[in-house]
Structure 1
Amino acid sequence: MSRLIVISNRVSRPNKSGNQGGLAVALAQALRESRGIWFGWSGETTDAFTGHIGFAEDQGVKTATIDLEEQDVDEYYNGYANKTLWPLFHFRIDLAEYARDFEGGYNRVNKRFAETASPLIEPDDVIWVHDYHLIPLGQMLRDRGLKNRMGFFLHIPWPPTRLLVSLPHHSKLVSTLFAYDVVGFHTEEWLESFRHYVEREMGGTVDGDYVTVGDRTIQAIACPIGINAQEFKDAADSETAQAMFGKVRASLQDRPLVVGVDRLDYSKGLEERFNGYARFLKDHPEHHRKIVLTQIAPPSRGDVESYQQIRATLDSLAGRINGEYSDVDWTPIRYVNQGYPRDELAGIYRAAKIGLVTPLRDGMNLVAKEYVAAQDPKDPGVLILSRFAGAAMQLKDALLINPYSPEEMSDAILRALAMPLDERQRRWRAMMDSVEKQDIRWWREVFTSRLMAVEREPAAAETEDAAG
């Protein structure tokens, strides 16, 4: 059986705290089954890059990590990945910063990944590279002579051609994707944007799932990531979740809860969400003292100026709204800058009558699926979802809104509060069927089955042996 080699920016080791992200949960079992390795950055820095690899094994998952220099982190991670690619790919060209040092650092770190990972890779291994941090890695591995089957999955949106061409050397970056055998996107929209770029800017051709540029043909597919639905249902029924459920409900004094759970990031539409909620309070004074919005927003990327600005904006906005509408025994917004383990989150989701998931642009958004999975089938809450989240393509029975419109958000909150039980159950059941059918295992198996089916090009040594 071929080993699976997963390469991503960061490595998440299995733990019992329940704080792992969706990608970690998705890949851990596959790595166990294949005796594979997860390779990436440790998150630590070193004075001088040495190429030293730290090996570990936790709960049957083998990991291999490297430390990066401070300059690497500044230019590759904080710079090109999160000041250039992230805003551009989320349609925020106004926030994207273009600097040669950023691009140089990005390529340097990808080269370091290739140099240190390649000795760990055996000829029959299948390589799966993840996300925008490592787009050119496949080409750099090919340059080192690797003939392995190799796939790449993009976890964020792919921007329209008219935006992507603003990136210096955009065609050079996109051309490196043709070193992979299979390239995956969450939605048909992102896939279509990729195809459009290839046809318009690279003179390529598209034939179904096959995309050709020059003499190189790859498979490009839409394959939306899911969650471990059964595990999340079980988490919502756990003692920890039930304790959190009781704690939250007791604090609300029978008021309905609206919940949002997002990283502190401008792509999540948090400022627009607060403004939409404020519009609801303005338009519907009859609901004053009768509703609470809890926004959980753990900080992220604190070294990037735009993230510092969004935190300051939200602090000010929450204070203004609470100052205008609060009473001595009621605060309309509870704004929390910390994260919670998965089982506690499941209890919070179940306590919420409304899940408010309103990103301005999102590759998928697993919070929407987690909220659905955590609901009580007998009395489910209502999901209000941005039509610009990848999850909107699957969760069509949510209340879909334009997050830029405070009026739409206000109307959706009012509708959700008044929605009768039978309609809530019908909508929830349809969404839950999708969450359960296209779960995390489905996503992994769809992508890896495509990758495993690729006919591997024999290495030079194998060709010589056959000739002899």
Structure 2
Amino acid sequence: MSRLIIVSNRVSTPSATGAQGGLAVALQAALREYRGIWFGWSGETTEQFDGRINFQRVEGVTTATIDLEEQDVEEYYNGYANRTLWPLFHYRIDLAEYERGFAGGYQRVNDRFADTVLPLIEPDDVLWVQDYHMFPLGQALRDRGCANRIGFFLHIPWPPRRLLATLPEAAELTRTLLAYDVVGFHTEEWLDAFRDFAVVELGATEQDGVLRLDGRSVRLLVDPIGIDAQEFITASRSTPARLMFRRMREAAVGRDLIVGVDRLDYSKGLEERFLGYERFLQEHPEERKEVTLLQIAPPSRGTVESYQRIRSSLEGMAGRINGAYADVDWVPIRYVNQGYSRDMLAGIYRAARIGLVTPLRDGMNLVAKEYVAAQDPEDPGVLILSRFAGAAAQLDVGAVLVNPYSAEEMSDAIILALKMPLNERIERWRAMMVNVEAEDVLWWRQRFTDALEAVAV
């Protein structure tokens, strides 16, 4: 492969603090394997879009970013991406907003991406487009004469056909994915849902993992993303991690720590998690001063009303539960609205007896894998994982799977994890660690790029 060009909504340069999401770290790892470019929106606005590209090179990663107009951000990003597609694809049609202006802005920005990135593409380049912000980009590039291999990876769930059908542009949007050569999903469930819509609603045919419609063929691929396992293991042994581990243990004062680390989002099941923990406190009064839940939830998309509501709700719930159960020497929930570096998070994970990862719906969830990688092999903690997270398809060998909608089930899982004997904890952890190390971010990248390179030009 000559070069890899990654296109995504936002571009993240390597951070000195290490405070980056799993996807950013994964894509940077892919770019370091190939001589390439990461192209996308800078996060900044301009009075009038001019297509000017800002190039940077940091720690071996070359980025190319453009600024968007305020109207673009409102309609494409805050509107269609975050108020239409995100809730719908996470099964929250009650929160999805369908506005023609949003859809128009979404297409306009994808056209602007296509116009701007096209001059950077060389004949042998391979393009890898990321996530739901860029569904139409492949078709926009084809319309402009781009004949390169182009792949698309979806990092969030693909909803069932009857849910997706509530989107006015569902058929048109799905059809644009046929412009790609390879389309990847985290799980078989998401791939099946996409194929079902394409076959039933569009009339496509499928054989041996290849979907065909109107002369186009696209390879469908299940390719669950992983973490850089060895890098995270190293991070868990770093000085910042050791200091944070000690800090957590000192703060716990002999109590067991339960930790949740999630972006502040309604898909993460944080309200349901608090209710499940409250149910545990009700049902097991003897454990009340023996545990503390640390919930780290950095805010995101603060301008979107549904995110403002969940932040307010969680603050109220944490205050209510603490008010009902706290004592002068113990607080049941420590709720923190800020992010931490990967090294520091590794120390927090290692100090936690339980990792509570209970999204209502999640494409993958790399926090689950990071929690596993950070554990002490001689005394590992227990992962409690939502069966509706993509990671459950891989980590069911060792995680305690729960229905996050059931406070009762959550309570049962917490007491099970707290009482679990050491030999069982080690056995479960080893089973999960085998997968975390084998199907890591390099495996994910190689599996996708191999499939893309196999496509005939």
Length-normalised TM-score, structure 2: 0.99
3-state SS of paired residue (2:226): coil
- The amino acid across from 1:444 in the alignment is R
Q: Which amino acid aligns with 1:243?
A: L
Q: Percent identity?
A: 68
1:306 corresponding residue in structure 2: 306
Does 1:326 find its partner at 2:355? no
Query: CA offsets per residue over residues 147-198 of structure 1, 9 Å max, x none?
Result: 0000000000000000000001211110000100000000000000011111
Give the whole-Å Cα distance in 1 for the aligned partners of 2:422 and 2:194: 42
Counterpart in the other structure of 2:455 = 454
Q: Which residue of 2 aligns with 1:178?
A: 178
1:28 shift after superposition? 2.1
Q: Distance in 1 between matches of 2:87 and 2:208?
A: 30
* C-alpha deviation, 1:26, in angstroms: 1.9
Which shows bigger deviation, 206-215 or 322-331? 206-215
Q: For 1:167-206, what aligned pairs fall within 5 Å after superposition?
A: 167-206=167-206
Deviation at 1:81, TM superposition (A): 0.2
3-state SS of paired residue (1:152): strand
C-alpha root-mean-square deviation of aligned residues, in Å? 0.7
> What whole-Å deviation, never above 9, does each CA across 1:1-35 have from its counterpart, x for those lacking one?
41100000000112332112222222224323422
Q: Which amino acid aligns with 2:60?
A: G
C-alpha separation in 2, matches of 1:449 and 1:202: 28
Give the SS at the match of 1:319: helix
Look up the equivalent residue of 1:217 and give its one-letter code: S
Which residue of structure 2 lines up, in the alignment, with residue 109 of structure 1?
109
Q: Counterpart of 2:18 in 1: which secondary structure?
A: coil
1:286 aligns to 2:286 (yes or no): yes
**CA distance in structure 1 between the partners assigned to 2:449 and 2:44 by the alignment:** 30
Summarize the Cα distance change of 1:298–1:206 in structure 2 as closer, same or farther, 3 Å threshold: same
Matches within 5 A, 1:102-251: 102-251=102-251
Q: What is the CA distance between 1:206 and its match in structure 2?
A: 1.3
Q: Please report how far the alpha carbon of residue 289 of structure 1 lies from its aligned counterpart in structure 2 after TM superposition.
A: 1.2
Question: Which residue in the other structure is 2:359 paired with?
Answer: 359
What per-residue deviation string (whole Å, max 9, x for no partner) do you get for residues 350-396 of structure 1? 00000000000000000000000000000000000000000000001
- Residue equivalent to 1:71: 71
Q: Is the 8 A contact 2:278 2:321 kept in 1?
A: yes
SS of the residue aligned with 1:454? coil
Amino acid paired to 1:106: Y
Question: In the aligned structure 2, how far is the partner of 1:311 from the partner of 1:24?
Answer: 25
Query: What code does the residue aligned with 1:450 have?
Result: A
Query: Paired residues, what number?
Result: 456
Counterpart residue type for residue 155 of structure 1 = H
Structure 1 Cα separation of the partners of residues 106 and 382 of structure 2: 42
**Equivalent residue number for residue 86 of structure 2:** 86
User: Contact between 2:30 and 2:442, CA under 8 Å: does it hold in 1?
Assistant: no
SS at match of 2:290: coil
* Deviation of 1:215 (Å): 1.3
Q: Deviations over 1:291-322 (max 9, x none)?
A: 10000000000010000000000000000000
Partners of 2:349 and 2:456 in 1: how far apart?
45
Measure the CA separation in 1 of the matches of 2:229 and 2:30. 17
Aligned to 2:409: 408
Q: Which consecutive aligned stretches of 4+ in structure 1 deviate over 4 angstroms post-superposition? A: none
Which residue is 2:3 aligned to?
3
1:431 alignment counterpart:
432
Q: Against the structure 1 CA distance between its residues 63 and 325, is the aligned structure 2 distance closer, same or farther, given a 3 Å change threshold?
A: same
Displacement after TM superposition at 1:217 (Å):
1.0
TM-score, L = length of structure 1: 0.97
Match of 1:13 in 2: 13
Indicate whether 1:58 and 2:58 are aligned: yes
Q: Which amino acid aligns with 1:427?
A: R
In structure 2, stretches of 5+ residues that fail to align are none
* Residue 380 (str. 1) matches residue 377 (str. 2): no
- Segments of structure 1 that go 5 or more residues without pairing to the other structure are 457-468
Give the whole-Å Cα distance in 2 for the aligned partners of 1:221 and 1:35. Answer: 24
The offset of 1:216, in angstroms, is: 1.1
Q: CA deviation at 1:129?
A: 0.2
Distance 2:405 2:23 in 1: 29
Deviations 1:420-460 (A, max 9, x none): 0000000000000000010000000000000011111xxxx
Code of the aligned partner of 1:421: L
- 1:26-63 deviations in whole A, cap 9, x for unaligned? 22243234220110000001111111111111112111
Q: Distance in 1 between matches of 2:435 and 2:389?
A: 16
* Alignment check: 8 A CA contact 2:29 2:442 kept: no
User: What is the CA–CA distance in structure 2 between the aligned matches of 1:30 and 1:442, rounded to whole Å?
Assistant: 10
Distance in 2 (CA, whole Å) between partners of 1:433 and 1:35 is: 30
Q: Distance in 1 between matches of 2:339 and 2:158?
A: 28
Equivalent residue letter for 2:28? A
Q: What SS does the aligned partner of 1:273 have? A: helix
1:67 shift after superposition: 0.3
- Alpha-carbon distance in structure 2 between the residues aligned to 1:258 and 1:422: 20
- Partner of residue 398, structure 1: 399
Separation (CA, whole Å) in 2 of partners of 1:187 and 1:61: 29
Specify whether residues 33 and 412 from structure 1 end up closer, same or farther in structure 2 by C-alpha distance, changes over 3 A only.
closer
Separation in 1 of the partners of 2:27 and 2:292? 36
8 Å CA contact retained: 2:252, 2:292: yes
Distance across 2 between alignment mates of 1:124 and 1:59: 24
**What is the CA-CA distance between 1:243 and the residue it aligns to?**
0.4
Q: Within 1, Cα distance between the matches of 2:279 and 2:15? A: 42
Shift of 1:265: 0.1
Per-residue deviation, 1:204: 1.1
